[in-house]
Amino acid sequence: MDTSAGTAMYPLHRCKTIHLVRHAQGVHNVEGETDHSAYMKPEFFDAQLTPLGWSQVIMYNFALDEFMGLQVDCLREHVKRCGLAEKVELVICSPLMRIMQTAVGVFGGENYTDGVSAPPLMVENAGNSGRSAISSLGSPPFLAVETCRERLIESDEDTLWLPDVRETYESLAGRGMKFIDWLWTREEKEIVVVSHSGLLWHTLRLYSKECHPTVRHEVSKYFANCELRSLVLVDRSMLGSDTSSCNYPGKGPAELDLPSDEASKN
């Protein structure tokens, strides 16, 4: 009998669902698309979203025959329509402006109203966006995490890495792997991560290198602006220690666990 099945099973309590999102179009993307060196300009280090990044516009790439760049308002409607908005237990994001704008714009509450007890997640006109304040009412918790930010640049203010050396792609991917491992210290099972194209791409290339080519492409292809990609994270290294909340042992108390022939007499 051939036991090399093309499918696999794994305990549910050793899995998490992670929804990865790249930020919407930032002002740095506009210039960087024609001049890649523009990404190194100091004024773009913490770029905010463009009006297009906030808008409901969907761009269609006829060469690739696919939709590209779902922007914040449109992605917000999508996560509501597909039911994801009701499932998310935690939103983790990079601490940079364009990431937080995307995360709050998609997964935050409705427009903030003065006098409501819930505080705003985003103040009015954050990052010169011209947008109304967004409430935390009805939204999942948000957590800004340094380790899921973009590839680090030279900076005397950055104490986590050498100030005179830009982070290598290998180091970036390694940081991404450690970040994903850190997710297992969280109790939430349905987590959104809003981050940057570089971190997502290099990290997912490592994770998918042993997958079937079709799956590897699905997992690790380059992210469009404001793209959402949902994946199942499996704890193969026993990083987590949670027990299942759904499994049931069956039978009864040990003293009532009789042999089948004895049980049949009762």
| Catalytic machinery residues | 23, 150
Task: Please tell me the distance from the alpha carbon of residue 104 to that of residue 241, in angstroms, as a whole number.
Answer: 31
Task: Please tell me the distance from the alpha carbon of residue 149 to that of residue 43, in angstroms, as a whole number.
Answer: 17
Residue (of 59, 85, 79) closest to 70 by Cα position:
59
Q: Provide the residue type at 59 as one letter.
A: M
CA 229 to chain centre: 8
The secondary structure of the chain, three-state, reads CCCCCCCCCCCHHHEEEEEEEECCCEHHHHHHCCCHHHHHCHHHCCCCECHHHHCCCCEEECCCCEEECCCHHHHHHHHHHCCHHHHCCEEEECCCHHHHHHHHHHHCCCECCCCCCCCEEECCCHHHCCCCCEECCCCCCEEECHHHCCCCCCCCCCCCCCCCCCCCHHHHHHHHHHHHHHHCCCCCCEEEEEECHHHHHHHHHHHCCCCCHHHHHHHHCCCCCCCEEEEEEECCCCCCCCCCCCCCCCCCCHHHCCCHHHHCCC
For residues 174 and 1, is the Cβ–Cβ distance under 8 A?
A: no
